[in-house]
Structure 1
Amino acid sequence: SSRFTGHQLFYIFGVHGIGALIVSGGINFAIAYAMYTTQDTATKPIRLWQLPNTLAGDAAVTMIIQCIITWFVELIILHFDLSQRSVQPIGFIPPPSNSLLRCFFFLPRDATAETKKQLRPWSFIEVIQQALRGFCFAVVGFLLLWPVFVGVLTAFGDKEGGDYYYRRKWVPEIFKLVLGGVLGLLTTPWMAMFWLVKAGWE
């Protein structure tokens, strides 16, 4: 497309934005419910910083795992939808000339080289390269969201010594619900646009 269409915007921000918020939030809530409601908080208290049940650490791990899994899910969905012509590629953004950006988008370092679609199965190294793209989104999400969410958690915990303590319900579950949903809302549309833009260059 020579500009954003209404369908593209709905696809990116509706299906892959609001949809990711609902799905990611729901999955994280379910995981947190199963994880924290079964804990014996007398022997394994749920705390902000200290192991074994650290909400700050849980948030960091959640961001990494969610972004990497979401990256592969988006890759599969976008490749299928593009092959079925369910959505148009974004065609008005010129290919980058910077070698690092070209590498990030899996383009040849030489801007004059022809971009070829890969039809063979990926190697292990190529799978790792894909996962690293998802990890890059996790790093950005961590820098933007982790300090905010950890700061908010201090308002809902019982401070004892240098840490904050939480009951099994409902702060950990709601925390993971909101964290997963917001992370999905912020990162998934960009992942979708990554593949739509890349398809416009091929």
Structure 2
Amino acid sequence: MTEPKVPKQRSWLYIFVYLVLYEGLMSGAISGGINFAISYGMYAKRSRQVTLWRFPHTMSGDCAVTLFVQTVLTHIIEEIMVGWDCYTGDTFYFPSLPLGGRLNKWAFKALEVDRGMVPFGLRPEAKEGAKPTFKGYVKQLITYDENRSNFVNFIICAVHKVILALLIAIPIWFVEWPVTMGVLAGIGKYIGGIEYELGNYPKPQVIKLVYTVILGWVSTPISIAAVMLRNQWYVEYYSGNNQVLNGENAKLFDLEKTKKDNEKIVKNTDTSSSSESDE
């Protein structure tokens, strides 16, 4: 019988090449091509010129909406695909990143570390010859409350994932959107006030291509890392409290180094949550 797969720890160089140069650039190229085509269909044959601020064809609004929609869609896709890879063990772990301090307590809540998944290869059923199923994975992914229906759990899950995606999108928007507006003002034809005309082709299409390539290049690695770190930190946090992760499995990830810190973080997080509830 073949040994069940479990994630392996990789170096920072490997992680950089994989996330930024492989996943990021590939996602950027795909999203850039799609948005170029959409922008061509939206603007190329219109009688009205595309402008920077003025409706109905406003590039500022187009870029803002595109950023948030693309980041949310990208994150949801990565939640499903990367989460499945983590579940089946077809991924890797980051070098040791022990959690501690206020920033990481915030990350614990934002990433929903307590909702992470144990790789199937570390579960007792894997040793009995069972195989991971996508249906079982999705069921675990969306179930927030076993006493609620699948539909209600799906809605709760979707809301949480969208919130995390927006937490990723907002900082990107604060940097990329203003810079893009400055570039558009520089290449556009000044027509008075703060308004610039961009024509119908090719400026709107090219700027959307470049804009979404950069967006995909930045947002995709962040979304992937968020999912992977959630599952890795879950394993580390609960290594002493989950029977699946005790003994030999814990040694596999050298978890004893971070176990004491993790227990303190969990205790502090639970305490702060209780205090907030009392208030």
Aligned residue in 1 for 2:142: 121
Aligned residue in 2 for 1:170: 202
CA distance in 1, matches of 2:113, 2:10: 22
Aligned residue in 2 for 1:28: 35
Deviation at 1:15, TM superposition (A): 2.7
Deviation at 1:120, TM superposition (A): 5.8
Q: Tell me: CA distance 1:90–1:40, structure 2 relative to 1, closer, same or farther (3 Å).
A: same
**Amino acid aligned to 1:48:** L
Choose the corresponding residue for 1:103, options 105, 109, 129. 109
1:80-104 residue CA offsets vs partner (Å, 9 max, x unmatched): 2223433212251123554432110
Q: Tell me: CA distance 1:160–1:72, structure 2 relative to 1, closer, same or farther (3 Å).
A: same
TM-score (norm 1): 0.86
Structure number with higher relative contact order (C-alpha < 8 Å, ≥ 6 residues apart): 1
Deviation at 1:115, TM superposition (A): 6.2
Deviation at 1:6, TM superposition (A): 5.3
Choose the corresponding residue for 1:194, options 226, 245, 259. 226
The answer on whether the counterparts of 1:49 and 1:55 sit within 8 Å (CA) in structure 2 is yes
The answer on whether the counterparts of 1:91 and 1:200 sit within 8 Å (CA) in structure 2 is no
Aligned residue in 2 for 1:89: 93
What is the root-mean-square deviation in Å for CA atoms of aligned residues?
2.2
Deviation at 1:2, TM superposition (A): 5.0
Q: Tell me: CA distance 1:165–1:4, structure 2 relative to 1, closer, same or farther (3 Å).
A: same
The answer on whether the counterparts of 1:55 and 1:172 sit within 8 Å (CA) in structure 2 is yes
Aligned residue in 2 for 1:147: 178
Q: Structure 1 stretches of 5 or more lacking a match? A: 109-113
CA distance in 2, matches of 1:76, 1:10: 22
Identity, % of aligned positions? 26
Aligned residue in 2 for 1:179: 211
Moved over 4 A (4+): 114-118
Aligned residue in 2 for 1:67: 71
Equivalenced residues, count: 194
**Amino acid aligned to 2:96:** F
**Amino acid aligned to 2:178:** P
| Partner-residue secondary structure (3-state), 2:187 | coil
| Partner-residue secondary structure (3-state), 1:40 | coil
1:141-183 residue CA offsets vs partner (Å, 9 max, x unmatched): 1111111110000122111122111211000000100000001
1:89-125 residue CA offsets vs partner (Å, 9 max, x unmatched): 22511235544321101034xxxxx966681634212
The answer on whether the counterparts of 2:44 and 2:201 sit within 8 Å (CA) in structure 1 is yes
| Partner-residue secondary structure (3-state), 1:130 | helix
**Farther off after superposition, 178-187 or 154-163:** 154-163
**Farther off after superposition, 121-130 or 4-13:** 4-13
Is 1:138 the equivalent of 2:159? no
| Partner-residue secondary structure (3-state), 1:154 | helix
1:15-43 residue CA offsets vs partner (Å, 9 max, x unmatched): 311111211111111111111113221xx
Larger radius of gyration: 2
The answer on whether the counterparts of 1:67 and 1:135 sit within 8 Å (CA) in structure 2 is yes
TM-score (norm 2): 0.64
The answer on whether the counterparts of 1:48 and 1:164 sit within 8 Å (CA) in structure 2 is yes
| Partner-residue secondary structure (3-state), 1:166 | strand
